């Protein structure tokens, strides 16, 4: 969705406003941020309203899924995971994926079985970061495990009995938010006990409990009287087959490597922007390469002498 949005609406201010709307946790906050978007651009505001907020804003997410992710990284991860098998025939590709998943299920199942904690380590690390954010919040007791949390982003109400917070992050993600953590500490309890059971070690092991059974080789396959499957007619396009997905125009090719892509080109002859030395027209003056080199050398000496005179 953001790729379609930035293709039509350029600028960092619109980009930040769009992501602010996506990360809004309550309908009121979402409405206020959309009003700010409307002040920036009516067209961008109208384009965002064409898509149901339930599909892209946390403020309208269902509390059933227990997920606050906004990106499709799982699709990109799986696409990269099977990059070695994408150019294989269909049966070979499926067999390659089956073997990889069989190994993955075994590694995940045995790795979590050795972990001593009651919850997954990534969730515990995320909870530790939330605890640090909760240091700037203060709790006021109302009674019956109901608290008013005073924080920089506004006041919120936490109900530990129902495990809810008016910011909705606890209900959406299943992990106590910073307001809930503040209330839990005020009640002298452990925030780990308020994590949803789906993040527990038992739930993780149940996910990978199914075993992918091995299959004998082709020599042991059962013979039938059906005609053999013929490969499809493939019209191979020119060039090397593509394995990687197509990236957006402004998406970096290497996330951890500095690239010169989309940077202005400077000419090595005339030192102007917009062309290189091969297509430079300044050399069409009748002078040879040696004459040009000597001229630039004289200009450099003259510039140095001028600076020396000005300084003294």
pLDDT, tens digit (0-9, with 9 covering 90-100), for 23-60: 999 999 999 999 999 999 999 999 999 999 998 999 99
The pLDDT of residue 113 is: 92
- How many CB atoms lie under 10 A from the CB of residue 197? 9
In whole numbers, what is the pLDDT of the chain averaged over residues?
86
**115: closest CA among 126, 100, 78, 123?**
123
pLDDT band at residue 20 under the 50/70/90 scheme? very high
Given a cut of 90, is residue 105 above it in pLDDT? Answer: yes
The pLDDT of residue 284 is: 56
pLDDT band at residue 237 under the 50/70/90 scheme? confident
**179: closest CA among 17, 10, 11, 25?**
25
Answer for the pair 6, 15: CB distance below 8 angstroms, yes or no. yes
| Lowest-pLDDT range of 40-54, 117-131, 200-214, 287-301 | 287-301
Kindly give, in sequence order, each residue whose CB lies less than 8 Å from that of residue 81, ignoring residues fewer than 6 positions away.
100
Give residue limits of the domains in the chain: 2-60, 62-71+88-213
Given a cut of 60, is residue 146 above it in pLDDT? Answer: yes
Given a cut of 60, is residue 176 above it in pLDDT? Answer: yes
pLDDT band at residue 167 under the 50/70/90 scheme? very high
Rounded Cα distance, 297 and 300, in Å: 5
């Amino acid at each position: 969705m953001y790729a379609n949005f930035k293709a039509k609406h350029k600028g960092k201010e619109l980009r930040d406003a769009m992501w602010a709307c996506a990360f809004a946790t309550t309908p009121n906050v979402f409405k206020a941020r959309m009003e700010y978007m409307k002040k920036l651009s009516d067209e961008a505001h109208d384009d965002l309203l064409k898509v149901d907020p339930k599909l892209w804003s946390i403020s309208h997410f269902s509390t059933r899924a227990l997920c606050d992710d906004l990106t499709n990284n799982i699709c990109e991860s799986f696409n990269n995971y099977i990059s070695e098998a994408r150019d294989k025939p269909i049966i070979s590709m499926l067999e390659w994926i089956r073997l990889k998943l069989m190994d993955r299920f075994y590694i995940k199942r045995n790795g979590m079985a050795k972990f001593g904690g009651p919850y997954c380590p990534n969730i515990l690390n995320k909870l530790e970061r939330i605890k640090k954010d909760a240091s700037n919040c203060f709790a006021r007791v109302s009674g019956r495990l109901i608290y008013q949390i005073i924080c920089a982003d506004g006041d919120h109400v936490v109900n530990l009995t129902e495990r809810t917070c008016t910011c909705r992050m606890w209900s959406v993600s299943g992990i106590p938010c910073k307001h809930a953590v503040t209330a839990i500490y005020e009640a002298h309890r452990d925030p780990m006990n308020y994590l949803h059971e789906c993040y527990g070690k038992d739930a993780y092991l149940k996910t990978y409990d199914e075993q992918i059974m091995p299959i004998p080789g082709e020599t042991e396959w059962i013979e039938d009287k059906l005609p053999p499957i013929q490969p499809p007619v493939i019209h191979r396009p020119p060039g090397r087959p593509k394995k990687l997905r197509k990236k957006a125009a402004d998406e970096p090719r290497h996330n951890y490597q500095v690239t010169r892509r989309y940077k202005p080109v400077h000419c090595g002859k005339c030192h102007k922007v917009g062309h290189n030395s091969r297509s430079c027209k300044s050399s069409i003056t009748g002078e040879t390469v040696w004459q040009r080199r000597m001229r630039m050398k004289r200009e450099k000496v003259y510039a140095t002498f001028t600076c020396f005179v000005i300084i003294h």
